[in-house]
Amino acid sequence: MSNIHPTAVVHPDAQIGSDVTIAPFAVIGEDTVIGAGSQIGPHAVVGPHVRMGSNNSVHSHAAVGGAPQDLTWKGEVTWLSLGDNNVIREFAQLNRGTLKGDGWTRVGSHNLLMSCCHVAHDCVLGDHVIMANNVLIAGHVVIEDRAILNGAAAVQQFATIGKHSYVGGLTRVVHDVPPFMVVEGHPSKVRKVNTVGLQRAGYSPGQMEAIRDAYRTIFRTAQPRSEILDEIERSPYLTAEVAYLVAFLRRSERSAAGRALQG
């Protein structure tokens, strides 16, 4: 049995799961699915065309599933999906996709989007992502699992934020952010390995040492990047984590803008 406040506005086409709480003055749009156990806060707006999993928490005044802020969008039906156990804090804004992508903006599970974050059209967020207050993500951005973006960081369109990376506050991201690394600055630069994040995620000392060795070789030598990556790949001691880092960097290097998704 769901608890829907009488002042909430729920479109007749919306599908509301069991044990959902919809607070006063919330609005649920057409063709929207709210999964079991979710909580929609006062004055929050969800939908239209949202597919939300279970046990999500949408706080007051958040806007989940608004129209894409893209001049080429002409009112086509597009969608936003969220997995399970996400927390969307006050005044955060998540837009639906556009037909320039595949029509979807996708958010995984167990993510925390703090107050006033913006997730633009056609973005893809993995799982266990943390976006602190006022983080701004432009269109077509991919954020991989367990990345952390600190307050007021801003990410340019088509950038990829690698898994287990850590983006410092007030950072301007104009290139892809390599996995496992700490980046910060205006524009961003790789500073060190995200050792704390890797420890929290259960990486072994051996795995972390291999990543640190790769970091020193790749980012702290003057040798051409392509030659360094070739040497690392030929190493008999190549680990899965370092191989992932090398493949990520190769994709970024092939792009003139440093953003692999832009080509």
Any domain includes 38 = yes
Q: Are residues 117 and 13 in the same domain?
A: yes
Any domain includes 94 = yes
Q: What is the mean pLDDT of the chain?
A: 97
Among 89, 124, 140, where does a domain finish? 140
Among 140, 155, 177, where does a domain finish? 140
Count of C-beta atoms within a 10 Å radius of residue 221: 11
Domain count, the chain: 2
> 145 catalytic, yes or no?
no
pLDDT recorded at residue 198: 98
Q: Are residues 9 and 135 in the same domain?
A: yes
Q: Are residues 121 and 227 in the same domain?
A: no
Any domain includes 110 = yes
Mean pLDDT of 52-60: 98
Q: Are residues 50 and 120 in the same domain?
A: yes
Q: Are residues 134 and 217 in the same domain?
A: no
What CATH number corresponds to the domain at position 252?
1.20.1180
Q: Are residues 38 and 129 in the same domain?
A: yes
pLDDT recorded at residue 64: 98
Any domain includes 190 = no
- Reply yes or no on whether the pLDDT at 123 is more than 80: yes
pLDDT recorded at residue 187: 86
Any domain includes 162 = no
Mean pLDDT of 29-41: 98
- Reply yes or no on whether the pLDDT at 248 is more than 90: yes
- Reply yes or no on whether the pLDDT at 204 is more than 90: yes
Q: Distance of CA 228 to CAs 111, 143, 194, 245, Å?
A: 35, 26, 21, 12
- Dist. CA 147–CA 129, nearest whole Å: 5
Q: What is the SS3 assignment for 78?
A: coil
Q: Are 86 and 113 in contact (CB under 8 A)?
A: yes
pLDDT recorded at residue 256: 87
Q: What is the pLDDT of residues 63-108, one digit of tens each?
A: 999 999 999 999 999 999 999 999 999 999 999 999 999 999 999 9
> 43 catalytic, yes or no?
no
pLDDT recorded at residue 263: 77
Q: Are residues 252 and 126 in the same domain?
A: no
193: left (phi over 0), alpha (psi -120 to 50) or beta: beta
Quick one: CA torsion of 160, 161, 164, 170, rounded to 10 degrees?
Answer: 170
Among 110, 140, 170, where does a domain finish? 140
What CATH number corresponds to the domain at position 121?
2.160.10.10
> 53 catalytic, yes or no?
no
Q: Are 107 and 126 in contact (CB under 8 A)?
A: no
pLDDT recorded at residue 34: 98
pLDDT recorded at residue 35: 98
Any domain includes 247 = yes
Residue 102: its H or E element: none
Where residue 118 falls among pLDDT bands split at 50, 70, 90?
very high
pLDDT recorded at residue 185: 95
Q: Are residues 114 and 228 in the same domain?
A: no
Active-site residue (options: 35, 47, 97, 139): 139
Q: Are residues 129 and 9 in the same domain?
A: yes
Report pTM.
Answer: 0.97
Q: Distance of CA 76 to CAs 93, 150, 220, Å?
A: 19, 33, 48
Domain region containing 215: 199-262
Active-site residue (options: 43, 108, 122, 168): 122
Active-site residue (options: 121, 128, 164, 175): 121
Q: Are residues 29 and 136 in the same domain?
A: yes
Burial 68-87 (b: 16+ CB within 10 A, else e): bebeebeeeebbbbbbbbbb
Any domain includes 186 = no
The neighbouring-strand residues paired with 185 are: 188
Q: Are residues 7 and 136 in the same domain?
A: yes
Q: Are 70 and 121 in contact (CB under 8 A)?
A: yes
Q: Are residues 213 and 134 in the same domain?
A: no
Any domain includes 120 = yes
